[in-house]
Chain A
């Protein structure tokens, strides 16, 4: 029987046995290093897989939630402005279209139930069309209760809402002795702004999703109480079979009034996916960094393993193990680390995803899917993909050591041990490698060219709306750092090593100046880990400083009050205007949402009582402020909106406002770190002149001098009665910065892991370097170096390598920090900010790392002084 590559099956089996012996021996003798390599791979796989699982589950959950409420229509007709509506005439016209099978009209609004703090969605449905379109919203009448049915004004609550009401009732009963109607037949008081309506609970919504707080009633009942009088919120359309959706949509898009749009199913999924896309990609890049550091650890471990077993491999080569098999053996050892590491990573990733969703929900810390607790369902294909990625990372880490093992000159390795470079005449490939390598060593040209390429990449615009060129630029900066290490080492230490110095210092300097492979590997690990750590510290610090300054500007008032999505009650607004109120000034604001592009998340419309001649008093503008032409309203757009929709000051914009397209003038661009998908500010006067109904939802309050405590006390009963939130600006600032710090917590953990891996790489490679130079060190011992001198020489070597690594790492870190701040953040999240380098923190980090590196090199120094001089020299004969 002949197997692959023409080897007889019996020989294959025999070689497999030998391979297994070697792998087992390797794992046994290098247990700690192998285990750490496995863990590093596991960490990368776990992070990537957990992010995938959480996001996949959250997206499916979000999609299901949308489908549950929206049903499964072919298309949805809706207003572009959340304050607008779809005219009934339009709904009727669409219903008469022969291509349309069914139109289900829906009115949706938010109400509060009595004094419960959380608003709920009140959905008015036409029960007959809902049967076909949104079966999840169909109510179940409680036959035993004396309650009207849906057509007679009964309302129906979802199980989650019923549970919430029961809990509120229990709390209120124990505290106030009040009773609420939480069973069928009971009465609910519905509040929206100053509007109050009583409704009778008639049953439940048996198939509503467990997390949804929903109230369903007949559409006419909702319309009569909450409006709009001549329209609906949405028309959900099911087309007749054989109707082409695209052409139907195109035809109707031209006939619809300008304030309306047609959404299809694809738009919904694209919009949901766009919500967290950049955030996901960023997290995945972090997972990739973790995987790469795992690959580096495999590289350091396998390189030292190859070096330490060089005579064993040389012997096996002499006995007949072919070069290909020697290469394959080290690759197999890489896979033997990668497979269990990746499997462990998959298990950890799954556990992490389950724990994360149970504790924090499915929003990945970015706030995109807050409130949902999706079910994690592992699928085979992604698991295999992440398994393959982990194995590939491990294989990549083992590939250069495997190549060196294959190229070892057998006779020489048997005599003198590991050759740190392939022999010059080994083969043409090796010659070209050496040639290229000597270029790197002798000329700064290659690092310089690579640095220029990195700079050029950082100037490129986003690809597929992602900062892919920026990520490539970061990778190139790291390559530049590693490539320039030998050059800098020779520059710094070459001259120094020729100076008259005490013997240990001179030995250490000479060894580092020659930049042997092990020293380069150790320095590379520190370059990469310190560069990534420093860059993250710089980016986070820049961002935090920017957010801090931004908060100063956007929180001018001492006190803030807001309702949750429902208009503020008029009696409160009236009381605030009365002379007895302890406030010097009150600014009102209303929120709405506009759909500019159906495939993108909505843009926030902020209607503010702002001084049109001095908007800079309230908004942090990034550029010049321009006055609009006469008779044209001005708007001020946020930075994300300017970048997403490619808008600039002085342009005019057709804004989908109040059921029509209104031409507005862009008067300026302001900085906004609060709304990633864009916001547009319009003054209350302009909004009302355009015919808008200004219903404030938020207030900025300036108490009378010295009366902040009285003002807070004055607001308390209103907040209690209407479920409003009151906070002072200091509390909002503290909360905002605490949310900011929490969202970057994962990066701090990764920074710590990266530094540990870098230091571990230094310790491992220094120890291997000592092992490789055992004869040299033993000779020095025989010539009169005592243990202290040997120890000093090795520790100084570690300190010198670490200094080079930290110096280059710092330079790369600043460059990467600048790319993260000026390229990645603006392109991925549309957040711009100034670079703020926390020099104290960065230098403190460098000093701590240097101290840790010296400590790590103590391990190698101890190895060096433990070498039995006589035995080593005897073996060397």
Chain B
């Protein structure tokens, strides 16, 4: 689960507030869409939640132990990300010098999962994202949809408590985007992972359980989109 409390971030030399006093939670197995205009601070909020950027105030509790990532030092934040957070990016960010199986195995290595478990877990996820037989392929030989499937498998292979997705279908054509989105939501719900999806797409937002709209005045909740 994810709980964000009183989170604030300023920017620029004048320390102008980007957002302040944000409070929200994402429960286990819940998928929340985060929408808002460009420049309102969606990506910065995502970075603060992931510990890639530092918030000026507030706390971000992640996972069953509710560890506050804001209070941790850089190394501990990295360790918490490795253990508890999965990421899906718009630009895929698949390592070009590693095979598909090696790419998916990276979070397992960072978590310290015993080597014997890597192959079965990677193989099982490859099958579930529709890439069985792709283990030894190099990223350069894959299409955009396939690359994003690899990214989804990599984001979930270590069974994180939280999945953060930044425009996960932004680089895909509508048909592939639909397939990838469906796959992502299905796997997240299956693993009972909390998910926060930053998107500009109404279609993606409507597919989530709830929609949060970030505005210069704070967060607005739009209720359960799917319902």
Task: Mark each residue of chain B from 85 to 105: 1 if its CB lies under 8 Å from any CB of chain A, else 0.
Answer: 101010101011110001000
Cβ of A31 within 8 Å of any chain B Cβ, yes or no, is no
Name, among B47, B78, B98, the residue most crowded by chain A CB atoms within 10 Å (CB to CB): B78
User: How many B residues face the partner with a CB closer than 8 A?
Assistant: 35
Cβ of B115 within 8 Å of any chain A Cβ, yes or no, is yes
Looking at the assembled complex, report how far the CB atom of B57 sits from the nearest CB atom of chain A, in whole angstroms. 16
Cβ of A360 within 8 Å of any chain B Cβ, yes or no, is no
Name, among B53, B91, B115, the residue most crowded by chain A CB atoms within 10 Å (CB to CB): B91
Residues of B135-170 whose CB lies within 8 A of A: 154
CB atoms of B93 and A311 under 8 A apart: yes
Q: CB-CB < 8 A to B97: which residues of A?
A: 21-22, 25-26, 28-29, 312
CB atoms of B115 and A14 under 8 A apart: yes
Q: CB-CB < 8 A to A320: which residues of B?
A: 78-83, 85, 107, 110-111
Cβ of A318 within 8 Å of any chain B Cβ, yes or no, is yes
Q: CB-CB < 8 A to B43: which residues of A?
A: 411
- Chain A at the B interface: SS class: helix
Cβ of A35 within 8 Å of any chain B Cβ, yes or no, is no
CB atoms of A321 and B78 under 8 A apart: yes
Task: Mark each residue of chain A from 26 to 63: 1 if its CB lies under 8 Å from any CB of chain B, else 0.
Answer: 10110000000000000000000000000000000000
Cβ of A841 within 8 Å of any chain B Cβ, yes or no, is no
CB atoms of B81 and A875 under 8 A apart: no
CB atoms of A14 and B95 under 8 A apart: no
Complex alpha-carbon distance, A320 and B109, angstroms? 10
Cβ of B52 within 8 Å of any chain A Cβ, yes or no, is yes
Task: Mark each residue of chain B from 160 to 190: 1 if its CB lies under 8 Å from any CB of chain A, else 0.
Answer: 0000000000010000000000000000000
CB atoms of A411 and B47 under 8 A apart: yes
CB atoms of A414 and B93 under 8 A apart: yes
Complex alpha-carbon distance, A690 and B81, angstroms? 93
Complex alpha-carbon distance, A14 and B97, angstroms? 18
Given known pairs A25-B97, A318-B87, A411-B53, the reply for A324 and B75 (CB within 8 Å) is yes
Name, among A17, A28, A311, the residue most crowded by chain B CB atoms within 10 Å (CB to CB): A17
Looking at the assembled complex, report how far the CB atom of A526 sits from the nearest CB atom of chain B, in whole angstroms. 31
Cβ of B225 within 8 Å of any chain A Cβ, yes or no, is no
Looking at the assembled complex, report how far the CB atom of A54 sits from the nearest CB atom of chain B, in whole angstroms. 43
- Chain B at the A interface: SS class: helix
Q: CB-CB < 8 A to A317: which residues of B?
A: 78
CB atoms of A323 and B114 under 8 A apart: no
- Quick one: which of A21, A26, A319, A414 contacts B110, CB cutoff 8 A? A319
Q: CB-CB < 8 A to A28: which residues of B?
A: 97
Cβ of A83 within 8 Å of any chain B Cβ, yes or no, is no
Cβ of B221 within 8 Å of any chain A Cβ, yes or no, is no
CB atoms of B95 and A312 under 8 A apart: yes
Q: CB-CB < 8 A to A11: which residues of B?
A: 111-112
Closest residue of chain B to A17 (Cβ to Cβ) is B109
Cβ of B25 within 8 Å of any chain A Cβ, yes or no, is no
CB atoms of B52 and A411 under 8 A apart: yes
CB atoms of A316 and B106 under 8 A apart: yes
CB atoms of A319 and B53 under 8 A apart: no
Cβ of B50 within 8 Å of any chain A Cβ, yes or no, is yes
Cβ of A13 within 8 Å of any chain B Cβ, yes or no, is yes
Residues of A6-30 whose CB lies within 8 A of B: 8, 10-11, 13-15, 17-18, 21-22, 25-26, 28-29
Q: CB-CB < 8 A to A25: which residues of B?
A: 97-98
Looking at the assembled complex, report how far the CB atom of A696 sits from the nearest CB atom of chain B, in whole angstroms. 78
Cβ of B224 within 8 Å of any chain A Cβ, yes or no, is no
CB atoms of A319 and B81 under 8 A apart: yes
Q: Closest 4 A-B residue pairs measured CB to CB? A: A320-B82, A11-B112, A25-B97, A322-B78
Given contacts A321-B78, A411-B43, A414-B91, 11 further A-B contacts (CB under 8 A): A10-B113, A15-B109, A21-B98, A29-B97, A311-B93, A312-B95, A312-B96, A315-B95, A316-B95, A318-B52, A321-B82
Interfacial residues, chain A to chain B (CB-CB below 8 A): 8, 10-11, 13-15, 17-18, 21-22, 25-26, 28-29, 311-312, 315-324, 410-411, 414, 875, 877
CB pairs A–B below 8 angstroms (29 shown): A8-B112, A14-B110, A15-B109, A15-B112, A17-B109, A18-B109, A18-B110, A21-B97, A22-B97, A312-B96, A315-B93, A316-B95, A318-B81, A318-B87, A319-B81, A319-B87, A319-B107, A320-B80, A320-B83, A320-B110, A320-B111, A321-B110, A322-B79, A323-B75, A324-B75, A411-B52, A414-B89, A414-B91, A875-B91
